[in-house]
C-alpha cells in the first residue's frame, strides 16, 4: 500500500506540473447536429448535448463524454444513485453526511487537500445531496482533467471513514442545520410541510436527517453505507468540455477500472397512496416577520406522463417573473402578498407541486388563500391563451440556455449535470431532447386537464406559518 501511495503521489506531482497526458487522437466521429423547427416555430439544434463517446467499465461505472472545444475547460460530474430516500428509519442523514465525508481525505489525499488541489488550478469543486441522488463535480482547465479524475477515483476507492472524521463532520452538519435551517424563517415549516404532504417516510423525511439517528450510529454503519452506495456500479460519470474522447476513455479506465464493484443496493419503496382528504398544519415560527402559507399537492414523478409536462408549464404561468399570474394578481393587483411563488419539486418518485405565499400585514392567510384558489380554479375552467402558453414555453427554453441558469446548456457543468442525471435516472441522455419536445407540445387542454386532475381541494396540503416570539411549535394537524 505504501508503494502505491508513493507512485500515485509522484504521478500527481507530474500532473500538476505538466498538465494532462498527451494521447494520440482517436477516430471519434462527432454526432451530426441538425436544426429542427417544431410546430410552434421554435428552432433548436439536435441533439441538445452531442455525445461523442459512452462506455461502461467492467466494474459497472457508466461514463459519457461530450466534446466541446469552445473554451479550454472541462467539467467532471459524478452522480451516485443514493439520496435521502435510500436511508432506513433510524439511520437518516447518512446521504447528506457523506457529501461532507467525501472531502475528509482518502488514501492519497489529506483532509481539506481536495479543495486545495482543484483551486490551485483555478478550478472549482462542489457537491449536493438530494432526495433521490447525490452529485459531485469539478470544473478545471482542460489540461487538468487527469487531476480531477485521479481525485475522484481515490475517494471512491479509499475514502477515510474513521471515527474522527465521522465525529468532525457530524458537528459540521449540526452547525449547518442550525445556520441554514433552524435559524431561518419559514425553512423549518417547509420541512414540516413535506413531512405532512407525503405519507411514505422515504419521501417525507428531510435530507438533513436526524442528529439522534446519526449519533446513535456506529462507525460500522457508516462504513457499510459507503461501501454499498459509493461503488462504481452505483455511479455515472459525465466528462464535458475541451477533451479528447479517446484520452478520456484511457484515463477513466486507468484510475477507475480496478475499483471493485459491490452487490447492487436495493431500490427503495417510494410509493404514495392517493390523497383523498385535505391536510392542515399550523407552525409557529419565531424567526418569521410575516405570516405565510404553503398550498401543496402530490404530483407525478419526473417524466411520468403528460401531466408532468403540463405542470411544468403551469409553474411558469403562475409564477415565472413579474408578468406571472400570481404576481400580477396577489402582489401588484390586490396587494395582499409580499411574494407569491409556485414550484415543482421534481423527483424520480412521487413529487410535490407547491405554492408558497408571504402575506402582507393588513391581510389574512384565509383571505389570501381564497385568492390563490381562485387563480388555481381559472386554470381548470379557462384555457390559457396562445400568447401566455408561448411565453411559458419560452421561459422553459430560457432556463435551458441562459448563462445564468445552473443547468444551462451553454455551460459545460450544466451539460455534465444533465448528462449524468439522465443516464443515472433513465439510462438515456437522449431523453432530454424528447422532454423539450414534450414541453413544446403542451396545449391549453393539457394545462386544464392537469390542473383538474392534480390541483384539487381534497388533494391539497395547507401549512400556515404564524410569526411568534415564543418557542416554535405545531398545532391543528390532520393527517
Bridge-based pairing of strands 279-285 and 460-467 is parallel
pLDDT one-digit tens code per residue, 450-474 = 999 999 999 999 999 999 975 444 4
Distance CA 448, CA 355 (A): 18
Query: Which stretches within 230-364 are classed as H helix?
Result: 245-256, 306-319, 325-326
Position 474 scores a pLDDT of: 47
**pLDDT band, very low/low/confident/very high, at 9 (cuts 50, 70, 90):** very low
Give the separation between CA 77 and CA 96, rounded to whole angstroms.
17
**Alpha carbon separation from 397 to 196, 306, 316, 343, 423 (Å, rounded):** 33, 18, 11, 17, 21
Question: Is residue 116 within a helix (H) or strand (E), and if so which, with residue range?
Answer: helix 113-119
Q: Strands 62-67 and 460-467, how do they pair? A: unpaired
- The mean pLDDT value for 65-78 works out to 97
- Span 361-378, average pLDDT: 97
| Domains of the chain listed by start with CATH number | 49-256 (3.30.830.10), 279-475 (3.30.830.10)
What is the pTM for the complete model shown? 0.89
Please, are residues 388 and 447 in contact by the beta-carbon 8 Å criterion?
no
What is the DSSP-derived secondary structure letter of residue 106? B
Query: What does the pLDDT average to over 357-365?
Result: 96
Q: Which residues contact 131 (CB under 8 A, 6 or more apart)?
A: 83, 84, 85, 203, 207, 347, 349
What confidence score (pLDDT) does residue 5 get?
35
Give me the chain's average pLDDT, please.
Answer: 90
Q: Is the pLDDT reported for residue 17 higher than 70?
A: no
Which of 64-78, 80-94, 404-418, 463-477 has the lowest average pLDDT?
A: 463-477
Residue 24 pLDDT class (50, 70, 90 cuts): very low
The mean per-residue pLDDT over the stretch 20-49 comes to 59
**CB environment 248-285: b (16+ within 10 A), e (fewer):** bbebbeebbeebeebeeeeebebebeebeeebebbbbb
* pLDDT tens per residue across span 300-352: 999 999 999 999 999 999 999 999 999 999 999 999 999 999 999 999 999 99
Tens of pLDDT, residues 121-165: 999 999 999 999 999 999 999 999 999 999 999 999 999 999 999
Amino acid at each position: 500500500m505504501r508503494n502505491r501511495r508513493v507512485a500515485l503521489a509522484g504521478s500527481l506531482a507530474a500532473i500538476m506540473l505538466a498538465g494532462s497526458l498527451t494521447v494520440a487522437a482517436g477516430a471519434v466521429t462527432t454526432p451530426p447536429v441538425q436544426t429542427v423547427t417544431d410546430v410552434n416555430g421554435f428552432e433548436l439544434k439536435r441533439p441538445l448535448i452531442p455525445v461523442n463517446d459512452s462506455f461502461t467499465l467492467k466494474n459497472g461505472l457508466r461514463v459519457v463524454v461530450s466534446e466541446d472545444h469552445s473554451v479550454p475547460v472541462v467539467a467532471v460530474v459524478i452522480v451516485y444513485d443514493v439520496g435521502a430516500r435510500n436511508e432506513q428509519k433510524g439511520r437518516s442523514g447518512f446521504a447528506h453526511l457523506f457529501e461532507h465525508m467525501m472531502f475528509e481525505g482518502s488514501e492519497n489525499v489529506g483532509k481539506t487537500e481536495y479543495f486545495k488541489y482543484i483551486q490551485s488550478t483555478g478550478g472549482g469543486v462542489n457537491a449536493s445531496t438530494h432526495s433521490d441522488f447525490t452529485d459531485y463535480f469539478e470544473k478545471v482547465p482542460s489540461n487538468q482533467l487527469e487531476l480531477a479524475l485521479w481525485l475522484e477515483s481515490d475517494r471512491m476507492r479509499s475514502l477515510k471513514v474513521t471515527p474522527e472524521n465521522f465525529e468532525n463532520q457530524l458537528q459540521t452538519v449540526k452547525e449547518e442545520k442550525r445556520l441554514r435551517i433552524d435559524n431561518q424563517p419559514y425553512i423549518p415549516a417547509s420541512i414540516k410541510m413535506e413531512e405532512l404532504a407525503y405519507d411514505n417516510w422515504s419521501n417525507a423525511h428531510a435530507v438533513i436527517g436526524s442528529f439522534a439517528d446519526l449519533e446513535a450510529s456506529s462507525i460500522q454503519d457508516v462504513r457499510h453505507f459507503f461501501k454499498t452506495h459509493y461503488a462504481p456500479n452505483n455511479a455515472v460519470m459525465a466528462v464535458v468540455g475541451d477533451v479528447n474522447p479517446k484520452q478520456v476513455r484511457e484515463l477513466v479506465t486507468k484510475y477507475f477500472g480496478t475499483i471493485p464493484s459491490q452487490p447492487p443496493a436495493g431500490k427503495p419503496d417510494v410509493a404514495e397512496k392517493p390523497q383523498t382528504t385535505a391536510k392542515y398544519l399550523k407552525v409557529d415560527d419565531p424567526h418569521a416577520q410575516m405570516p405565510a402559507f404553503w398550498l401543496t399537492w402530490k404530483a407525478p414523478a419526473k417524466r411520468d406522463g403528460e401531466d408532468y409536462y403540463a405542470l411544468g408549464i403551469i409553474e411558469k404561468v403562475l409564477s415565472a417573473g413579474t408578468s406571472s399570474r400570481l404576481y400580477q394578481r396577489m402582489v401588484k393587483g390586490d396587494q395582499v402578498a409580499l411574494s407569491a411563488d409556485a414550484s415543482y419539486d421534481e423527483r424520480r418518485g412521487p413529487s410535490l407541486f407547491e405554492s408558497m405565499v408571504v402575506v402582507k400585514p393588513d391581510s389574512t392567510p384565509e383571505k389570501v388563500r381564497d385568492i390563490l384558489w381562485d387563480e388555481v380554479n381559472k386554470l381548470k375552467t379557462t384555457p390559457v391563451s396562445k400568447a401566455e402558453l408561448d411565453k411559458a414555453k419560452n421561459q422553459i427554453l430560457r432556463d435551458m440556455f441562459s448563462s445564468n441558469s445552473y443547468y444551462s446548456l451553454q455551460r459545460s457543468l450544466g451539460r455534465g449535470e444533465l448528462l449524468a442525471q439522465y443516464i443515472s435516472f433513465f439510462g438515456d441522455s437522449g431523453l432530454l431532447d424528447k422532454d423539450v419536445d414534450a414541453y413544446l407540445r403542451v396545449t391549453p387542454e393539457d394545462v386544464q386537464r392537469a390542473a383538474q386532475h392534480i390541483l384539487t381541494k381534497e388533494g391539497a396540503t395547507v401549512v400556515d406559518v404564524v410569526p411568534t416570539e415564543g418557542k416554535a411549535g405545531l398545532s391543528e394537524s390532520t393527517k
